[in-house]
Amino acid sequence: MATRVACIGECMMELSERPDGSLLRGYGGDTLNTALYLARLGVAVDYVTALGDDPWSEEMLAAWAAEGVGTAQVRRLPGRMPGLYIIRTDDKGERSFHYWRDSAAARDLFSGPGAAETRAALADYDLVYASGISLSLYGEAGRGALAETCRAVQARGGRVAFDTNYRPRGWPDKAKAQSAFRDAMAAADLIFASSEDLEWLYGPEGEEEVLRHHGRCEIVLKGSGSPPSVRVLAGSDDVTVPASPVAAVVDTTAAGDSFAAAYMAARLAGRPPAAAAACGHRLAGAVIGHRGAVIPRSAMPDLPLATEQGRP
């Protein structure tokens, strides 16, 4: 029986402003990007979120299903809609993001009608993946419900993965973010951490916040050098895996999301941590060579994944 993965988070409508002021519509979300790449790599993955009953929610569901992502755990909330953000690019190529998401349906995933059913369904997955952005969606009660759900996953023999994606805009109270991230890292079996995220959140000693979990869980710590490297700590192993230089970096969107997907796919296929990190680098390297978060299928690299899925 194939390993079942659940990715928890939010997908928002995306409007990109063109030079003439017109807008190009799409959609995006960090854990959704990871789910899409997991599906392309042959992993049985469901996306777990809440959407409305509007036409754009329908479009999202159809697009995810076309990519092979399971949508059975997407809650539909009547009268609600997804969040929205606009990307504006200045004359120097720098992008700015402007959000309308306070009433997005995804914020109520762990509250209201259907929340109990969502939590019960999640407990049956083999691997549950969430990010710091996922945590920012929910209030204290919602984060508590998510934490309790993750404990239920682990009690049934499943595992929990957490990515430290930190976006200050999503956390008006930095102290709450620091506390929520500490709790999430302490509860995770696999942590994807960025030294940049940790420094933004905790200051110069940020890496110590994740390294204290060495020996208790598997840690993938991404550095900020060029080309990037990751430090992988699993059991007694502590190795650094560098990435190969990329000829031309076009767009770094979803580099970390795709890395996490390839790493988890490789680990689920039975590859050791260092080999999984190399797979992550290869997919991320392909992604940053294209514009947008999701590259054409024809651009997907042939990763050396085992054919039989195992457990990480």
Which residue pairs, CB below 8 angstroms and at least 24 apart, start in 202-206? 202/178
Q: Is 257 a catalytic residue?
A: yes
Q: Are strands 127-131 and 50-51 parallel, antiparallel or unpaired?
A: unpaired
181 closest CA partner among 135, 213, 227, 221: 135
> pLDDT by residue (tens digit) across 163-200?
999 999 889 899 999 999 999 999 999 999 999 999 99
Q: What is the pLDDT of residues 30-59, one digit of tens each?
A: 999 999 999 999 999 999 999 999 999 999
Query: How far apart are alpha carbons 285 and 128 in whole angstroms?
Result: 25
Residue 290, pLDDT > 60, answer: yes
Question: What pLDDT shows up at residue 308?
Answer: 47
Reading phi first (left if > 0) and then psi (alpha if -120 to 50, else beta), residue 68 is in left
Task: Tell me the pLDDT tens digit for each residue of 190-236.
Answer: 999 999 999 999 999 999 999 999 999 999 999 877 778 999 999 99
* Between 84 and 307, residue with greater pLDDT: 84
What is the distance between the alpha carbons of residues 206 and 3, in angstroms, rounded to a whole number? 33
State the DSSP H helix or E strand holding residue 128, giving kind and residue range, or none if neither: strand 127-131
Helix or strand or coil: residue 163? strand
If pLDDT is split at 50, 70 and 90, which confidence band does 101 have? Answer: confident
Report the pLDDT averaged over residues 24-32.
Answer: 90
Place of tokens 């329908």: 58
Spatial distance between the Cα atoms of 57 and 54, rounded to a whole number of angstroms: 5
From 309, 218, 211, select the one nearest 266 (Cα to Cα): 309
Query: How much is the CA Rg of the chain, to the nearest whole Å?
Result: 18
Domains of the chain plus CATH, in order, are: 4-10+30-82+102-294 (3.40.1190.20)
Cα–Cα nearest to 227, from 290, 295, 289? 289
Say if residue 227 is preceded by a cis peptide, omega within 30 of 0.
Answer: yes
Both structure tokens of 145: 């419900």
- Whether 129 has a pLDDT exceeding 70, the answer reads yes
Angstrom distance (rounded) from CA 172 to CA 20:
33
pLDDT surpasses 70 at 309: no
Question: Six-digit token pair at 3?
Answer: 């390993």
Closest by Cα among 194, 195, 135 to 160: 135
The residue from 46, 189, 197, 257 that is catalytic is: 257
- The answer for residues whose C-beta is within 8 angstroms of residue 299's C-beta and 6 or more apart is 286, 289, 290
Average pLDDT over residues 126-137: 97
Are 35 and 60 in contact by the 8 Å Cβ rule? The answer is: no
CA dihedral (230, 131, 6, 64) positive or negative: negative
pTM: 0.93
pLDDT of residue 91: 65
